[in-house]
């Protein structure tokens, strides 16, 4: 899906603050060795993951989202009342309804915002970004808070070694606002989202919705947990992340050497290396934190962006390329001048 061309003059959109939160509890690969038939060597060699964070039993998706949001609001230097659009992307909402965004709205006092959730799995943060950019670009919103928060530990089958070693919990957020349009000021330069609904079966939580309602049998069969054909997902991830990033680079006229940092979805180091080498970015310009957090779905890109900014790996004026892939299938990318 490309940006609209010229039905009206689009307003520029700036990214003015980021924030993130991860739960305290660490679950290491050696902890997992005691739970399923796996090894630290296998997990590190196949994924790059060393540990992941696990939310407390009473810690909700909205609690993590709220903490990340407050940090982003503080970094942006705004008041919660200034937010007029609040989007949460999650596949692990507090409740089916109301939306997790509404809980966060109440928690942070963003009383002037329209709040809603979106679902795009690991691409959720970049789908939220694209959505907010459209609202602000059309003049329908001025200040948007976008959050991705996931309690994946809640939907992981802890007896399935092929998935339980991959995922973790956490949240990331960003504040977007109508930009100045000046050449060196912050701007979302372009964004791309896409999906292929013919491949829903290779990565899904089959039960708990209307397709396979919650019954005692379905719970016993763990149909409310993530099921994935990892090999197939891997292949599609590399292809679509590469294609999405390259189409964005071509559309914006940015050259790979103009990109200060790539902040990719943090699912698997081999996927990240395959994608970034294909788009011509050396490893020192790629941000990786999956060794600490595993795959936190849509939150992964958002947490990585916040950590990159706070660590000084991405500075004001730098062009950052974000690229993600997830269930749906979905893919997405964004080029942002900080």
- Residue number with CB closer to ligand ACO (194 or 256): 194
Establish if 122 lies at the interface with ligand ACO (CB under 6 A).
yes
In the complex, the smallest distance separating the C-beta of residue 160 from ligand ACO, rounded to whole angstroms, is 9
Q: Which stretch binds ligand ACO (CB under 6 A): 42-50, 132-140, 190-198, 208-216?
A: 42-50
In the complex, the smallest distance separating the C-beta of residue 110 from ligand ACO, rounded to whole angstroms, is 27
Using alpha carbons, list the distances in angstroms from residue 112 to 80, 91, 101, 184.
8, 25, 13, 30
Catalytic residue list contains 265: yes
State the sign of the Cα–Cα–Cα–Cα dihedral 55, 57, 62, 66: negative
- Could you tell me whether strands 143-151 and 114-118 are parallel, antiparallel, or unpaired per DSSP bridges? unpaired
Catalytic residue list contains 122: yes
Establish if 230 lies at the interface with ligand ACO (CB under 6 A).
yes
- Out of 162, 214, 215, 277, the residue judged to bind ligand ACO by CB under 6 A: 162
Q: Considering only residues 186 through 205, tell me which ones interact with ligand ACO, judged by CB under 6 A.
A: 203
CA distance 89 to 164: 22
- Residue number with CB closer to ligand ACO (142 or 236): 236
- Could you tell me whether strands 143-151 and 85-89 are parallel, antiparallel, or unpaired per DSSP bridges? parallel
In the complex, the smallest distance separating the C-beta of residue 155 from ligand ACO, rounded to whole angstroms, is 9
Establish if 236 lies at the interface with ligand ACO (CB under 6 A).
no
- Residue number with CB closer to ligand ACO (162 or 277): 162
Query: Would you say 214 and 224 are in contact if contact means Cβ atoms under 8 Å apart?
Result: yes
State the sign of the Cα–Cα–Cα–Cα dihedral 64, 147, 152, 309: negative
- Out of 237, 259, 290, 300, the residue judged to bind ligand ACO by CB under 6 A: 237
Catalytic residue list contains 295: yes
Q: Which residue among the candidates 102, 164, 240, 265 is catalytic per the annotation? A: 265
Using alpha carbons, list the distances in angstroms from residue 47 to 118, 135, 218, 272, 283.
28, 37, 30, 10, 16
CA distance 281 to 260: 9
In the complex, the smallest distance separating the C-beta of residue 70 from ligand ACO, rounded to whole angstroms, is 25
Neighbours of 161 (CB within 10 A): 17
Binding mask 90-119 for ligand ACO (x = CB under 6 A): ------------------------------
Q: Considering only residues 20 through 39, tell me which ones interact with ligand ACO, judged by CB under 6 A.
A: 38
DSSP secondary structure string for all residues of 188-248 = EEEEEEEE-GGGGGGEE--SSSSSS---HHHHHTTTTS-EE-HHHHHHHHHHHHHHHHHHH
CA distance 302 to 132: 15
Q: Which stretch binds ligand ACO (CB under 6 A): 233-241, 255-263, 301-309, 315-323?
A: 233-241
CA distance 17 to 216: 45
- Out of 165, 238, 299, 303, the residue judged to bind ligand ACO by CB under 6 A: 165
Q: What size, in residues, is the chain? A: 338
Establish if 271 lies at the interface with ligand ACO (CB under 6 A).
yes
Residues that bind ligand ACO (CB under 6 A): 38, 42-43, 46-47, 121-122, 161-162, 165, 203, 230-231, 233-234, 237, 267-268, 271, 295, 297, 326-327
Give the catalytic positions in this structure.
122, 265, 295
């Amino acid at each position: 899906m490309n940006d609209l061309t010229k039905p009206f003059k689009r307003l520029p959109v700036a990214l003015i603050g980021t924030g993130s939160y991860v739960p305290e509890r660490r679950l290491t690969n050696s902890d997992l060795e005691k739970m399923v038939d796996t090894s630290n060597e296998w997990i590190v060699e196949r994924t790059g993951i060393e540990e992941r964070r696990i939310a407390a039993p009473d810690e909700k998706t909205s609690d993590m989202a709220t903490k990340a949001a407050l940090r982003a609001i503080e970094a942006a230097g705004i008041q919660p009342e200034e937010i007029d659009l609040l989007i949460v992307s999650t596949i692990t909402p507090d409740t089916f309804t109301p939306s997790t965004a509404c809980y966060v709205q109440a928690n942070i006092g963003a009383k002037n915002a329209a709040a809603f959730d979106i679902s795009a799995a690991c691409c959720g943060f970049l789908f939220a970004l694209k959505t907010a950019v459209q609202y602000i670009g059309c003049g329908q919103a001025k200040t948007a808070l976008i959050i991705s928060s996931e309690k994946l530990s809640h939907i992981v089958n802890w007896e399935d070694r092929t998935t339980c070693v991959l995922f973790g919990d956490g949240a990331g957020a960003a504040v977007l606002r109508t930009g100045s349009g000046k050449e060196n000021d912050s701007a979302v330069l372009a964004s791309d989202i896409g999906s292929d609904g013919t491949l829903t079966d290779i990565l899904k939580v089959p039960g708990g919705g209307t397709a396979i309602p919650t019954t005692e049998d379905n719970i016993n069969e763990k149909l409310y947990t993530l099921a994935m054909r990892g090999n197939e997902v891997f292949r599609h991830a590399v292809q679509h992340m590469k294609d999405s990033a390259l189409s964005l680079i071509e559309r914006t006229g940015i050259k790979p050497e103009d990109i200060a940092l790539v902040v990719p979805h943090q699912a698997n180091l081999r996927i990240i290396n395959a994608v970034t080498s294909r788009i011509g970015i050396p490893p020192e310009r790629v941000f990786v934190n999956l060794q600490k957090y595993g795959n936190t779905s849509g939150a992964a890109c958002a947490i990585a962006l916040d950590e990159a900014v706070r660590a000084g790996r991405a500075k004001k004026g730098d062009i950052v390329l974000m690229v993600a892939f997830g269930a749906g299938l979905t893919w997405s990318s964004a080029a942002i001048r900080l």
